[in-house]
Structure 1
Amino acid sequence: MAQWLSGTVIANTHWTDTLFSLRVKTEPFDFIAGQFVRLAIETADGKVQRAYSLLNSPGGPEQEFLISTVADGLLTPLLHQLKPGDTVDISQPACGFFILDEVPDGKNLWLISTGTGIGPYLSMLGTETPWQRFSSIILLHSVRYVAELVYQPLISHFQQRYGTQLHYQPIVTREAKAGALQQRIPELIQSGALQQACGHSLDQESQVLLCGNPQMITETKAVLESLGLKKNLRRDPGQITVEQYWK
């Protein structure tokens, strides 16, 4: 049974009408970048809870979460309304194997995400591990609208600190934006347009992480397999690692 920490909301940043970030102060706790916890609120019908990846890197008393509101959801509309000073429960311990410890070595690390799936990657990039292990890191974030390209100052900080070791590639499917691609991720990989835009190959020397919309994950995994990459398993290491709790 999960244990629970009581957290105090420090900030609730609304990026759009349905996309927001919660910053919560808690007692410090250990986790590995890429892991998730459950957020919960007590209601008249009992505790309502759901899993969310930690966006912040380990080591601090403030935890951050990127959340998309589900209109008919039981929890996200409540989280959306939280104000500084409100409380929210956070489960312990953190869980999940979508972590770089589970990823084999490679030349290039592709961090492919849609929507809120960028969260665990920002947590990873705030640690030394990816920069020490991979010569090139490609951070890919696909959204519908420009306003959903969140955490630009943090991404710029990583770019300034690590230079050409990091390539950030936005994709905006329903609006035009300079520097952004506009097609869906599987199509971009299939045509080679993504690899050309990023200046890196997708081959057996690459390690690819997928996080976000389940349909994107399924279709992108199939395209990657057609290029000769395979799912990474402990008993049979490969090149494709998928965030499982989205299922």
Structure 2
Amino acid sequence: MAQWLSGIVTDNHHWHANLFSIKVKVPNFDFIAGQFVRLALDTPTGRVQRAYSLVNSPGTNEQEFLVSTVADGSLSPLLQQLKMGDNIEVSQPASGFFILDEVPDGNNLWLISSGTGIGPYLSMLGTHGIWQRFKHIVLVHTVRTVADLAYREYIHNCQRQYPGQLYYQPIVTREAHSGALDRRIPELIQTNELQHACAQTLDEQSQIMLCGNPQMITETRTLLETMGLKKNLRRAPGNITVEQYWK
């Protein structure tokens, strides 16, 4: 049964008006990169809670979450207003099987995300195992605007730390941006434009993780299956690992 731990907000960084990263200090907190917890606030009308993936890697002192503000949402507008020193509740233990331990070995690892779905991948990039298991790692992040491309400095630091091992491919669909592709992921895969840009194959020797918008996940998974790739299950290992909940 989940328990609730009292946390204290240590930072609330606004990437733009509707996207922010909140850091929370929680004692004795443990999780596996890729997992999620629930954040909760008590309001005059009762407790509101929602699941969010952890952005930070295990072993760090603060827990970090990337949140997109939903205008009529019950929790995200409240989280956006939190300031340093404010209290927040965090569920424990962390949940989910969208973790590298569930992913078979492969020649390359594709981390494909949309919006805040990049969060669990950032957590994974901060662990040693991912760099030891996969020779090539491709991080794909599709967003609407350039301002949505969060954590670019962190990603570039990973590239410098592991030269030649990590390729970062942004996709910006509503603005022109140097180095970014500008079409939907399924279309980019079908035309081989994404594979060409990243200089990596998408075949039966690949492992692909999908996280973010449900429509993106469904359409991309369907296309990959037509290419001969299979969903990864414990009873039947495959190539496609999917995050099941919507952030």
Shared fold by TM > 0.5? yes
Number of aligned residues: 247
Instruction: Tell me which residue corresponds to 1:128.
Output: 128
Q: Which residue of 2 aligns with 1:60?
A: 60
Quick one: distance in 1 between partners of 2:111 and 2:163? 17
TM-superposed deviation, 1:28: 3.0
1:173 aligns with 2:154: no
- 1-10 or 209-218: bigger deviation: 1-10
Inter-partner Cα distance in structure 2 for 1:95 and 1:105: 23
Deviation at 1:241, TM superposition (A): 0.2
Shift of 1:60: 2.0
Q: Which runs of 5+ in 1 are unaligned?
A: none
- Give the deviation of 1:2 after TM superposition: 1.7
Alignment of structure 1 residues 52-131 onto 2, 5 Å: 52-131=52-131
CA distance in 2, matches of 1:169, 1:158: 14
Does the CA-based 8 Å contact 1:204-1:229 persist in structure 2? yes
TM-score, with length taken from structure 1:
0.99
Give the whole-Å Cα distance in 2 for the aligned partners of 1:43 and 1:154. 34
SS at match of 1:164: coil
Tell me by how many angstroms 1:153 deviates: 1.2
| TM-score normalised by the chain length of structure 2 | 0.99
* Whole-angstrom CA distance in 1 between matches of 2:42 and 2:134: 43
Tell me how far apart the structure 2 counterparts of residues 233 and 81 of structure 1 sit (CA, whole Å).
Answer: 40
Percent of aligned pairs sharing the same letter: 69
Aligned AA for 1:130? I
Instruction: Give the corresponding residue for 1:49.
Output: 49
User: Which residue number in structure 1 is paired with residue 236 of structure 2?
Assistant: 236
Cα displacement string for residues 200-235 of structure 1 (whole angstroms, at most 9, x for unaligned residues): 000000000000000000000011111110100000
**Structure 2 counterpart of 1:53, which letter?**
S
- Partners in 2 of 1:25 and 1:104 — Cα distance? 33
Residues 28 and 61, structure 1, Cα contact 8 Å, conserved in 2: no
Counterpart of 1:200?
200
Preserved contact between residue 176 and residue 182 of structure 1 (Cα < 8 Å): yes
Matched residue of 2:163: which SS? helix
**Partners of 2:163 and 2:174 in 1: how far apart?**
29
Q: Which runs of 5+ in 2 are unaligned?
A: none
Letter in 2 for 1:181: L
Query: C-alpha distance in 1, partners of 2:201/2:70?
Result: 36
Q: Report how far residue 61 of structure 1 moved.
A: 2.1
| Equivalent in the alignment of 2:246 | 246
Cα displacement (A) at 1:26: 1.1
Q: CA RMSD in A?
A: 0.9
